[in-house]
Amino acid sequence: MKSFTYERPETVEAAAKAITANKNAKFLAGGTNLLDLMKLQIEAPAHIVDIGRLPLNRIEKTPDGGLRIGAMVTNTDLSAHEVIRRDYAILTRALQAGASGQLRNKATTGGNLLQRTRCPYFYDTNQDCNKRNPGSGCSALDGASRNLGVVGISQSCIATHPSDMAVAMRVLDAVVETINAEGVARAIPLEAFYTLPKDTPHIENVLAPDEIITAVRLPKPIGGKHIYKKVRDRSSYAFALVSVAAILHPDKTGRVAMGGVGPQPWRRTSADRLMPQGAKAVIDELLKGHNTTEDNAYKIDLAHRTLAAVLREAA
């Protein structure tokens, strides 16, 4: 690991200023992804701004009947919160499908959204990777791509976003709240938060360098049956090959988002509108324009079968 300087600010404003005041600085939250990346020298920040003491660890009701989740709320605390379990159960189920108990104790809400892909070539510094080293090429295109993406990808990068939590938040229409060093706040719908790789896969979201996530806001609950089904190579501590987050109502209307298929939690409201027609219509629309490799073509069938299983479970 390369040496770095370190500070632990006490306020959000000081944290945002510290990021701008230091060249090549990074926020450290739970550290469950960043520290691994630093050990591999994929990330080599010169300065660490530890945001572990910021007062962003509360979950509170909003005036419109929704919920505001502080960016530093851990995945464990979020999944166990009584209002989340009762009114946003899909979030509890997605969180508990992710990582391990120890990691969920450290991982934070903001950090979970910002975790990097688990494409194996991204972590192997002997391999070309446009995301790690822009312009070097993509080793996955002619390599092992079984776990990689089929929608929203480009010839520069076919990586997937690894978060389970973000898939549930996408189906809940979550909004990411941020503030920058000037004190300017933004509310960014999760659907507009992530960017597609196109020819700049190293840029993954719309955050400015001095912008810090302060909270994630959930709209008021919409009821329905909440199901998160994750298909993976082993029954725990593995990333999704395909996952489905669905909220289903008795009249067969509902919403669905998928993980494991693209560079961001994948949802199309045009697919939601087809829910009454069944799994085939929904997945055909949701994964419209998909582009598979020989290794990951199975994901299309798997997506159909996974949503069909979810709909059977709901019925």
Among 42, 89, 159, 179, binds ligand SF4 (CB under 6 A): 159
Among 27, 88, 122, 228, binds ligand SF4 (CB under 6 A): 122
Through-space distance between the first and last CA atoms of the chain, rounded to whole angstroms: 52
Give the binding range for ligand SF4 (CB under 6 A) out of 50-58, 59-67, 138-146, 243-251: 138-146
Give the contact letters, 163-202, x = binds to ligand SF4 (CB under 6 A), - = no: --------------------------------------x-
226 makes contact with ligand SF4 (CB under 6 A): no
Among 25, 95, 140, 169, binds ligand SF4 (CB under 6 A): 140
Tokens of residue 160, six digits? 């997937």
293 makes contact with ligand SF4 (CB under 6 A): no
Q: How far is the CB of 293 from ligand SF4 (least distance, A)?
A: 10
130 makes contact with ligand SF4 (CB under 6 A): yes
Interactions with ligand SF4, residue window 244-283 (CB under 6 A): none
Q: How far is the CB of 122 from ligand SF4 (least distance, A)?
A: 4
Number of residues that make up the chain:
315
**# chain residues binding ligand SF4, by CB under 6 A:** 15
Q: How far is the CB of 45 from ligand SF4 (least distance, A)?
A: 20
Q: How far is the CB of 295 from ligand SF4 (least distance, A)?
A: 12
Closest by Cα among 261, 257, 251 to 227: 257
Interactions with ligand SF4, residue window 196-225 (CB under 6 A): 201
Find the angle CA(60)-CA(63)-CA(65) to the nearest 5 degrees: 75
Q: Residue 121 or 266: which CB sits closer to ligand SF4?
A: 121
Give the contact letters, 71-110, x = binds to ligand SF4 (CB under 6 A), - = no: ----------------------------------------
Q: How far is the CB of 244 from ligand SF4 (least distance, A)?
A: 23
Distances (CA, A) of 39 to 43, 132, 136, 217: 8, 14, 21, 33
129 makes contact with ligand SF4 (CB under 6 A): yes
Among 17, 42, 110, 121, binds ligand SF4 (CB under 6 A): 121
Give the binding range for ligand SF4 (CB under 6 A) out of 22-30, 127-135, 177-185, 204-212: 127-135
119 makes contact with ligand SF4 (CB under 6 A): yes
150 makes contact with ligand SF4 (CB under 6 A): no
DSSP for the chain, please give it: ----EEE--SSHHHHHHHHHHSTTEEEESS-TTHHHHHHTTSS--SEEEE-TTSS---EEE-TTS-EEEETT-BHHHHHH-HHHHHH-HHHHHHHHTSS-HHHHHH-BHHHHHHPPP--HHHH-TTS-BTTTSTTS-BTTTTS--TTS-SSS--SS-------SHHHHHHHTT-EEEEE-TT--EEEEEGGGTB---TT-TT--BS--TT-EEEEEEEPSP--SEEEEEEE-SSSSS---SEEEEEEE-TTS-EEEEEESSSSS-B--HHHHTTGGG-HHHHHHHHTTT----TTTTHHHHHHHHHHHHHHHHH-
Residues forming contacts to ligand SF4 in the complex (CB under 6 A) are 117, 119, 121-122, 129-131, 138-140, 148, 157-159, 201
